Amino acid sequence: MTQLKNDLFLRALKGETVERPPVWMMRQAGRYLPEFRALKAKYDFFTRCRTPELAAEITVQPIDIIGPDAAILFSDILVIPQAMNIEVEMKDGIGPWLPNPIRSLADVEQVIVPDVYEELGYVMDAIKLTKERLDNRVPLIGFAGSPWTILCYAVQGQGSKNFDKAKELCFTQPEAAHQLLQKITDTTIAYLKAKVATGVNAVQVFDSWGGMLSPVDYQEFSWKYIQQIVDALKAETEVIVFGKGCWFALQEMAQSGAAALGVDWTCSARNARYLTGGNITLQGNFDPSRLLSPPAEIKKMVKQMVDAFGKDRYIANLGHGILPNIPVENAQAFVDAVKEYQA
C-alpha cells in the first residue's frame, strides 16, 4: 500500500498524538458546491451514484476546492435497500420515495441478502477510480446507513418527522422488524467489507434516525445491529459510528470497539468526553446552520470547539451534513480554522 501524503485523519482515528486535529465535513461532496450543482443539472441522483466516473469526480471536488483531510465516497445509504430488492426512487422536492413500503412479514420475506459485488459493483468501481484521482493525497471513507435508519425508509416509504409507521412495525410485528433488521445488517457487513477490500481507509455508519427511539428501544432496534457491524469490521478497518440525537447511548457506544464516535451539535464536548470516558476519538459537532455565520465568526467558534474537545483523539466535523445554502467561502473558513489551529 502506497504511503498517504496526509494521514492525519487515520492517526487521529487510532488515537495518536497529532499536531492539529484533522477536518472533513459530512456531505462535503455535494450540494453547496457549484461544481456539484452543474453535474446535478445534467444527471439524476442515482445516475450520479451508479456512474463510477461521476461518483469519483464528485468525491474529489471538495478535496480540490476546500482541502479537507479526508474524502468520503459520493454515494447514498439507500443503495443498500435497492440491492435488496426494495425499490427506491429520488423525487424532487420529496427526497427518497419507496413505492412499495414494507409493512408485513410477507413483505420482509421478499427482501433478499444480495451478492454485494454483483448488485453494488458500481460502488467498488467508484472506489477504484476515486483512489486513482485522489492519488494518495488523503484517506477515503466508505459509509453505510445503520440498519434501523434503512428500516425507517423501507417501512415508512419516505422521509418523516417521526417515522411512526417504522415504529409501528417494530412494536406490533417485532418478528418482522427483527428479520428485516438482520437482513439489512448482513448485507451492510458484506458491503462494508467489500469496500474495505476495494480500498477505503475507514468506514462510517450513519444512524441518522437513531434519536427517534427511546433509550430502551434504541438498544433493541438499533444498537445491537450496529454492534454486529462494528464486531465484523473492527479487525479490518477503523469504524466510526455516528448516531444523530443518540447522546444517551454514548457510554455503551464507547465500549463497542468502534474507533471513533460522531457527536451532533446538541451534545457539548464536555458531556461527550464525560459519557465516553475520555479515551475514544470523537468527531463533530459544529451546527451545520452555524456555517451561515460570517467567516470570521465561524473561525472563532471553530477554535472554541477544538479547545473544548482537545486537539488529540478528535476529528473536527459538523454535527450533521452540510446544508445546500452554505456559501463555499464559509465552508472554506471552517476547514481553514482547523488547519490553522494552535492550542
- The tally of domains found in the chain comes to 1
- Band of residue 92 on the pLDDT scale cut at 50, 70, 90: confident
Residue 248, annotated as binding a ligand: no
Question: Considering the domain boundaries, does residue 297 fall inside one?
Answer: no
Q: What is the mean pLDDT of residues 97-103?
A: 97
**Distance of alpha carbon 82 from the chain centroid:** 18
2: pLDDT strictly greater than 90: no
Alpha-carbon distances, residue 58 vs 75, 249, 334 (angstroms): 10, 33, 20
Span 135-172, pLDDT tens digits: 999 999 999 999 999 999 999 999 999 999 999 999 99
Question: Considering the domain boundaries, does residue 99 fall inside one?
Answer: yes
Q: Which of 6, 165, 123 is nearest to 70 (CA)?
A: 6
**Distance of alpha carbon 171 from the chain centroid:** 27
Is the four-CA dihedral 263, 142, 228, 173 of positive or negative sign? Answer: positive
| Res 1: pLDDT | 58
Residue 76, annotated as binding a ligand: yes
Span 289-304, pLDDT tens digits: 999 999 999 999 999 9
Rounded percentage of the chain residues whose pLDDT exceeds 70: 99
Residue 27, annotated as binding a ligand: yes
117: pLDDT strictly greater than 90: yes
CATH number where 65 lies: 3.20.20.210
Parallel, antiparallel or unpaired: strands 260-263 and 238-243: parallel
**Distance of alpha carbon 270 from the chain centroid:** 23
Q: What is the mean pLDDT of the chain?
A: 97
Question: Considering the domain boundaries, does residue 103 fall inside one?
Answer: yes
Residue 157 Rama label (left phi>0; alpha psi -120 to 50; beta): left
Question: Considering the domain boundaries, does residue 336 fall inside one?
Answer: no
| Res 99: pLDDT | 97
pTM: 0.97
45: pLDDT strictly greater than 90: yes
Residue 320, annotated as binding a ligand: yes
Residue 30, annotated as binding a ligand: yes
Residue 133, annotated as binding a ligand: no
Question: Considering the domain boundaries, does residue 332 fall inside one?
Answer: no
- Band of residue 20 on the pLDDT scale cut at 50, 70, 90: very high
Grouping H, G, I as helix, E, B as strand and the rest as coil, residue 163 is coil
Residue 20, annotated as binding a ligand: no
Question: Considering the domain boundaries, does residue 5 fall inside one?
Answer: no
329: pLDDT strictly greater than 70: yes
Residue 206, annotated as binding a ligand: no
Question: Considering the domain boundaries, does residue 316 fall inside one?
Answer: no
Residue 227, annotated as binding a ligand: no
183: pLDDT strictly greater than 70: yes
Q: How far apart are CA 88 and CA 150, in angstroms?
A: 11
Domain that holds residue 118: 21-283
> DSSP per residue over 238-250, as a string?
EEEEEETT-GGGH
Question: Considering the domain boundaries, does residue 87 fall inside one?
Answer: yes
Q: Which of 292, 301, 299 is nearest to 327 (CA)?
A: 292
The DSSP secondary-structure symbol of 161 reads: S
| Amino acid residing at 20 | R
- Band of residue 101 on the pLDDT scale cut at 50, 70, 90: very high
The DSSP secondary-structure symbol of 299 reads: H
Residue 173, annotated as binding a ligand: no
How crowded is the C-beta side of 232, counted as CA atoms within 13 Å? 19
